Each structure stands twice: as C-alpha cells, then as structure tokens.
Structure 1
Amino acid sequence: MTLPFADHKRYFIEKLGISERLMERCLGEALSAGGEYADLYFESVTSTSLAMDESLVKTASQGISVGCGIRVLSGERTGYAYTDDLSSERLMKAARTAALIASGPAKELMSGFRHTVDSPSLYPVAGAESDSEILAKLKLIERADKAARAYDPRITQVRAGINDELRRILVAASDGTFASDTQPLARLNVFVLAKDGANTSKGTSGGGGRVMLDFFEGEKSPEHFASEAARTAILQLDAVEAPAGEMEVVLGPGWPGVLLHEAVGHGLEADFNRKKTSAFAGLVGQQVASSKVTVVDNGTMANRRGSLNVDDEGTPTQETVLIENGILKGFLSDKLNSRLMGLPNTGSGRRESYHHIPMPRMTNTYMLNGEDMPEDIIKSVKRGLYAVNFGGGQVDITNGKFVFSASEAYLIEDGRVTRPVKGATLIGNGPEALKYVSMVGNDLALDEGIGTCGKAGQSVPVGVGMPTVKLDRMTVGGTGR
C-alpha cells in the first residue's frame, strides 16, 4: 500500500493539528529578521526494536518521536531551532530563535505553497503498530537464532535482532515547497561466534530495506542471513594470516562498494567541495579514475535502503552521474550548496531527524557494470587478494586516504581463488586507487540493505554496490607472507 500526497498531509493536519496557515505564520516569523530562505521540517517516527541473545529475548522496545526543525538561511549562515512541542506557541518561538541566528537584509515574504510534484512511490507503507506484528518479528529472529545454531556445532553464540520504523515527514518552505512522504525501513541482523579449540572467529550478516515484513519470507529469509553469518565465522576458523605488501586486488560485487562510498563518495558531496576540503575540489571535468569507472548515486530505486521519494528538503530524488568513464562530472548537492555554488540541486539534502540540519548526503552509490567476465578477472591475477566482504573502515576526506578491514577475503594464486585469509586490511587513496582499475565485471550487485552512513554526527541509511573490480595496485596490510 502507498499513500498519495493528500494522505501524507492529512496525517499532520488531522493527527498533529498542523494547518497551512500556521506553517505560513511560522515561516513569516522565521524570515522576520531578514533571512533569505526558511523551511519547516515536521517529522513523526514510530519504531520497534527486538533483540535475542543466547536464545532469549534480551531487549524489546517501541518508541514514538514527533517534532519540527525550523531552518533559516542567510548567505552561508544557518539558523536552526527545533521543538518536540508542536503547539503554535512553541513553533513560533523556535521560528524566532532561528531567525535571530541567521538575520540579514529584509526579504519579501512568500505568498502561498505549491505542491512540489507528485513524487513516485518507491516503497510500500509498513508499520509496527499491532501486537500481531510484534509477534511476527519475534518469530523472524527466533528462526534466525535456530538456523545459525543448526549450521555447525562450532557455533557457540548467536545474537539476532530486527529494527524497523515508519517515518512521516512534511516539508514547507519559503520558496513555496510543500512536500510530504511516508518512509518505512526495516533491517534484520545476525551475529555469531564460532570456536574450535583455541581458535575463535565471528561472522555477521543482515539485510532489509524500505520493505514490509513479508520481504523476510522470500529469498532474504532469516535462515539466509543466519547461514551467511555462520558460514563466514566457520570459514575464518581455518583462515591463514593475510599477506602484506603491494599487490593486485580484486573486489567482489555488492557490499565491497562500501569502499567506493567512503573513499570516493563523501569527497563528492558539495559542501566539502564548496569549502575546498575535498580531494576532488576543483577537478570537475578532469580525469579522476580509470576510463572503465562510472559511478552514480541513485535515490530512485524501489525498496532500496538509501532510496527516498523526496529528500529532507522536499526535493524529489534522482539518479546523478558523479564519475563517467573516469571523468568527474559533478557533486551531490542540497538547496544551500546548489545556491552558493551555482550547481543543480540533486535532491541530496538529508538529515538524521528533526534535531538536525540537512546536508548533502549519498543515497544508493554504486559503480556501473563493465564488460569483463568475473572469472576472467580472477584468472588474470598471478598473486593477489580477493576481498569479498568488509567490516569497518576509516577515510580522510581532505586527502582521500582510507583503511578498510576485510571480513571475508581469499588469496588468488595463479588465477585461482585458494585459501581464506584473516586480518587483511586495504590501504590506499580513493582518487588514486580508482586510477588503477583495469577490469570491471558485468555482475553489478547492491548490498543486502545494511548500510548506515555517518557524517558530522548524523547517521542516515544508505545503499552501496559494485560489480567485480580488479585494481592493479593496492597496499594490503597483514601479518602473513
């Protein structure tokens, strides 16, 4: 089921008592000190979280959050105030506070809203509002716990959890923007420990998206994620220490796109480039990667974790080409940075909640398919590393340097995938690493729906992806030979 715009709006009018007249008054107050632009971001979130450890339900919680953030822009200055009390008095007080922070020359006030557009319906509307749904979620994590324990007797500990939310937003702005959306989000996670003698290892898996519970009854079942977590942990018990040094590296399809997200994607967000703190600043139109590399950010993919009908400024999302055949084409921008930099607004204004200001953020970021067969990519490597999955990582936006830990990786010897390795880290520089891409597979895959991106203290759900990719040179950290 999807909701038309009128139903999105009706929720805030009927349930929360927010009228168009009140919104117009708040925007007028926000601009009373001379700001150039103001917007209101109303948000209502209902959420559920269940977690099981040692076959017992350890935590179960439900929550409701309601509030409004009011922003005023004047040049590069931003005034922001928020309130969890949606009474007219508190909203007007927040508007006055934001106005004083970002005062400027007087501006003519707006005259009426316009409905932004009839946005697409990229996801169904799902909620966590009945006891029967709570029981259904409990059964899902019970199935995951059971399946992981049954995978191998060496699995000694299992933790499974499910988190979901239903977020309703309404954005009203002084430029006439008037948009709303209802956004579901669900994720199932499994973590296991395995032990064999003195050896211990861990494995994780999970997935979801902007989906309803029946998503987990199909191919991406609790049993699927449990088996993947257990398989990874058992595999690591017999893994050898990863070699160290510069070598050829093959990245597997799907989640390894997180390296692309961190090492390249953040550097292509407009605010970093406006402030010239990105390694990509000033390089639009120049070669920044191998000619085989094309990278896009796409917020319009149905049911994907990073997708949105409209961003958190009320702008419809879109598909944006960032790098095309190795040439830097542009950046991800929001209203503020598109105005200050003279760029198109790519619908990339995102925020964690009404407590936070929006900023340019990624949605689903991935590398497009190439023409190489994945098996030919492996065959081309004399000695190297095949990185299938990643854990944590760090990147310095100013210079593009990154360090990533591989949670599942193998040696490639004489064109064959051989022994699993542990303790492998990939070390490099994002813009430089992409120049060493020599082969790109035709097997593009997106992640399972687990990505969460952090920036300036805010976290938002995202997606990543890539096909199998060969880099001719990359530094691998490890303790083996």
Structure 2
Amino acid sequence: MTTPPSNHKRYFFEKFGLSERLLERCLGEALSAGGDYADLYFESVSATSIGVDESLVKTASQGVSAGCGIRVVSGERTGYAYTDDLSAERLLHAARTAALIASGPAKQLVAGFTETQSPNLYPIPAADLDSDLSTKLDLVMRVDRAARAYDARIKQVRASYSDELKRILIAASDGTYASDTQPLARLNVFVLANDGKQTTRGTAGGGGRVEISYFQTEKTPEHFANEAARTAILQLGAVAAPAGEMEVVLGPGWPGVLLHEAVGHGLEADFNRKKTSAFAGLIGRQVASSKVTVVDNGTMPSRRGSLNVDDEGSPTQETMLIENGILKGYLSDKLSARLMNMPHTGNGRRESYQQIPMPRMTNTYMLSGDDAPEDILRSVKRGLYAVNFGGGSVDITSGKFVFSASEAYLIEDGKITAPVRDATLIGNGPEALKYVSMVGNDLELDEGVGTCGKDGQSVPVGVGMPTVKLDRMTVGGTGH
C-alpha cells in the first residue's frame, strides 16, 4: 500500500504558496556557484506536550513551527542555510547563502523531479492532533493514579505525554522529490519509592508512530505506571551488585540499547569515512561471535524509529550490518555513499530543518537465535541477569562503553535469585560481542522510548534484542 506523495506535498503548496517552479529556482540559486549537489528540506511540525507532577498539571503546551533548510555539497564540504520564513525572497536568499561554499561554474539540475514512491508505515492521525487536550490529559492522570495505587511506598509520581505531526517535503538537484507526514507519540512515567530507609526510582514509557488509541487499547497508561512502580519497589529489596568479571545475561527488548551504543554508532558511515570508528576498514572481517546477526530496519510499521522516507527523500530499508559475526556494511546517507563509493542505505536523518542530515540509525536490533531463554539462564553458574538499563555512554573511537542497569538480578546455579542495585556494565563494543555464546529465540523490540543523540542532534530510534549470554563482561558494583 502506498500513499501518494502529492497528498503530503499539497499541504506545503497550499499553506505556504510553494510551487515546483520555485523549488527549481531555489536549487538553481544553490548551485549557481558550482557544487556537486543541492537539496531543499521543508518541515512543518505541530506538537503537544503535557506534564503532571504530584497530581497537578505543571506544563501544557501546543505549538507549530515551520522552516526550510538548504544544503549545497561540494566535495567533502557542506554549505547550509535555513529560514523560518518560507517566502520566495527568503528561500532564494538562503539558497544563495548556502552556495557560498562552492566555487566554479553553475551546476545544472537534473531535468525534472521524480517523486519517491514510498510505503505507508504509519497512520496519519489528523483527528487525534486536533483533539482537545482533555483526552491527552486523561491519559497522564491515569498514569498518576495507577502508579500511586500500586503500593503505598510510591511517594512521588511524574508523568508526561507528548505528540507531534511532522510534515516534510524534499527536493534535490539529483531529481529526488519526496514528501511524508510523520506522527510520533510517547507516554512517560517516573516514580520514587521510599520505605523509610532508602529511596529508589523507576521509569517506564512507550509509544511510536501511533494514534492516541494505541494508549487506550494496546499499551495503556496503567501498563506503564505499573511497570515503573514495580521497578522502584523491587529496588527497595535489592542487594548491592557484585563487582568483577563474570557471565552476564541480557534480557530481551530495551537492553538492545547496549547494542545501539556499543556497536550501532560505530557502524555509521561518517565515523568510518573519517577513520574514527573502532570498525573502520573491517568490512568482511569477523567482528563478533558467529551467533550475532545485527540489522537496522527503518521499514517496521508504527515503530518509533521507522520512516517512509529519510530526511534526504530516500526510502528506508532493512540493512544487514553484522551477519553471523561478519561485518557486512555501514549505515549511509547520500554524502557518505558518494564519498565512500558504497551503497546508499536511506539513513540520512536530521533533528529539524535547522540541521544538516547525517547517517543515523532507525530501528537497530539483533536477530533471534536458537536457544531457549530458560536454557540460557540455566547455563550460568554465577552471573548477572540485566533486564533493563538506565543511562549509558560510549567512546566511538575506542568502542568502550559504560551502562547502568536499572533492573538486574543475581544468577546462582542457573536460577534467578536476588535483585541487585547499582550494577554497571563496562566493556568494549567490538570485544563484548565476541563473547556472545548463546542467543535466545525471543527477540523483542523496546516499548518505543528511544532517543539518540549525535553531534547535538536528537532523533527517535528503536532498539531490540533477544535474551543473550556473554561469557565474560566486567560488572561494576559495591557488593561481593
């Protein structure tokens, strides 16, 4: 099923008075001083957000923004200008500003535009975004009530709901002509629990490129509230995490964020072009256990990281990154694909019209293996079972990472025993994957909360993995 791009495109033509002739003029100005390539990225965003703290509405906002970013590429250099005034005069001025980077005779455009035909991976909830705030506020208040009702030791609750409808239109000198309408919604909850001796925290949330009905039928406010409260209460009875090198089992779903940070960023083409990634020059080489297969897939319906087209107007795709431990390729945008003479994977993404696109992940996950999760746990004599993660960081050049586990347990003689607190996982991405010895048959994706930062830009992403056993990993903790 495809949605005609003209439906999305018509919005910009009617609301802002654009025309194909004006787009051609802007691209002509952008290439008037030479350059290899130019593109226009138009964006219009309607957004809502509501925050409740201690059962009181603390924030509520609705807003609309619009603008255009104009890029000129000359060799490895990029000229960029943007404007929030979409009049012909300001657009042409921005195009001339971006052109300042180039030198040489004017470059001719490819004759005519070719509209990108793309799938329809998500609904367009026009009615939802126009619905009054009371429906959305009700979701947040239900979170607050459910979390407090879970246990008397839940002492503080903060909950929030946010959604946006982003419309984009892209025209480029290579004939690219694409448009899309992209919904995004998320419900979040944070709680504090106290038993008179200590205070613990729990968080949960989810969403995706979904309509508001998703939170009323599939993943309800009560689901997220109970999960956050459960995690906080669990920590009240936790023992100090052991420290040292040991076997570690990662649970399915959100623990895939470790894969995202430790491996995913290192497989973005720009880091490899600049030779700053630990994976630079390793295509075709064994970089992980033969049990490990990792893909990036922007074509999954309604997932937070999915896109009908990327922010350069290219359809997204499923890209094999690591297959049976062998590095197969990198994630690229148009610039990296051209400079590195490699396939273009449709991973050019940007936070907004104010920023240039760069290679970014969409939904990145490890494929299922053949092992039963219970067999994986049974195989561990003494180790850590990490079910959920909080924050983490990675050094792209070295591949070193540090992650804090928000929910983890001891494994003793093949059985899950006491919950532990303050556990951190410390390792090196390329090294850690070599110690994967068992991969579960239970692949899960996260609930829809991932936001990825790179060079000051944030974009929504998805992560996932099955239950995975690593024979060796360093665990940081204060226990024994």
Same fold at TM > 0.5: yes
Q: SS at 1:439's partner residue?
A: strand
What do the CA deviations read for 1:144-201 (whole angstroms, capped 9, x no partner)?
A: 1000000000000001100000000000000000000000000000100000012110
Quick check: 128-137 or 396-405, which moved more? Answer: 128-137
Q: Aligned in 2, Cα 1:121/1:461: closer, same or farther, shift over 3 Å?
A: same
TM-score, normalised to structure 2's length? 0.99
Which structure 2 segments of 5+ residues have no match?
A: none
Distance in 2 between the 1:103 and 1:205 partners?
52
Residue 109 (structure 1) shift: 3.0
Q: 1:62-73 residue pairs with structure 2 within 5 A?
A: 62-73=62-73
Match of 1:360 in 2: 359
Q: Which residue of 1 aligns with 2:99?
A: 99
Given residue 21 of structure 1, which amino acid in structure 2 is its aligned partner?
A: R
Matching of residues 201-212 of structure 1 within 5 Å: 201-212=200-211
**What SS is found at the alignment partner of 1:94?**
helix
For residues 454-479 of structure 1, give each alpha carbon's deviation from its aligned partner in whole angstroms, at most 9, with x where no partner exists.
Answer: 00000000000000000000000000
Asked if the contact 1:403/1:428 (under 8 Å) is kept, the reply is: yes
The one-letter code matched in structure 2 to 1:141 is V
Q: What whole-Å deviation, never above 9, does each CA across 1:210-248 have from its counterpart, x for those lacking one?
A: 000000012310000000000000000010000000000
How far did residue 104 of structure 1 move? 4.4
2:229 matches 1:221: no
Task: Tell me the TM-score normalised to structure 1 length.
Answer: 0.98
Pairing of 1:5-404 with structure 2 (within 5 A): 5-104=5-104, 106-116=106-116, 118-127=117-126, 132-404=131-403
Which is worse superposed, 246-255 or 10-19?
A: 10-19
- Deviations for 1:77-130, whole angstroms, at most 9, x for unmatched residues? 0000000000011000000000002334542333211112x2000000124776
Distance change in 2, residues 1:131/1:71 (3 Å): closer
Instruction: Kindly state the Cα deviation for residue 131 of structure 1 after the two structures are TM-superposed.
Output: 6.5
Tell me the equivalent position of 1:427. 426
Partners of 1:293 and 1:398 in 2: how far apart?
A: 22
Structure 2 CA distance, aligned partners of 1:476 and 1:127? 48
Q: Which amino acid aligns with 1:100?
A: L
> Contact conserved, 1:48 with 1:63, CA < 8 A, in 2?
yes
What SS does the corresponding residue of 1:258 show, helix, strand or coil?
helix
For 1:296, give the aligned amino acid.
Answer: V
Aligned residues: 480
How far does the alpha carbon of each residue in 1:356-381 deviate from its partner, in whole angstroms, 9 at most, with x for none? Answer: 00000000000000000000000000
The secondary structure found in structure 1 opposite 2:100 is: helix
C-alpha distance in 2 between matches for 1:2 and 1:316: 12
Structure 2 residue identity aligned to 1:43: E
Q: Secondary structure at the match of 1:386?
A: strand
CA RMSD, Structure 1 to Structure 2 (Å): 1.2
> In the alignment, is the contact (CA less than 8 A) between 2:129 and 2:165 conserved in 1?
no
Q: How far apart are the structure 1 equivalents of 2:20 and 2:419?
A: 61
Aligned residue identity for 1:198: K
Q: Partners in 2 of 1:474 and 1:226 — Cα distance? A: 32
Q: Is contact 2:368-2:443 (8 Å) kept? A: yes
Residue 135 of structure 1 deviates from its aligned partner by 1.0
The one-character-per-residue Cα deviations of 1:367-419 (angstroms, maximum 9, x if unpaired) are: 00000000000000000000000000010000100000000000000000000
C-alpha distance in structure 2 between counterparts of 1:22 and 1:211, whole Å: 34
SS at match of 1:435: helix
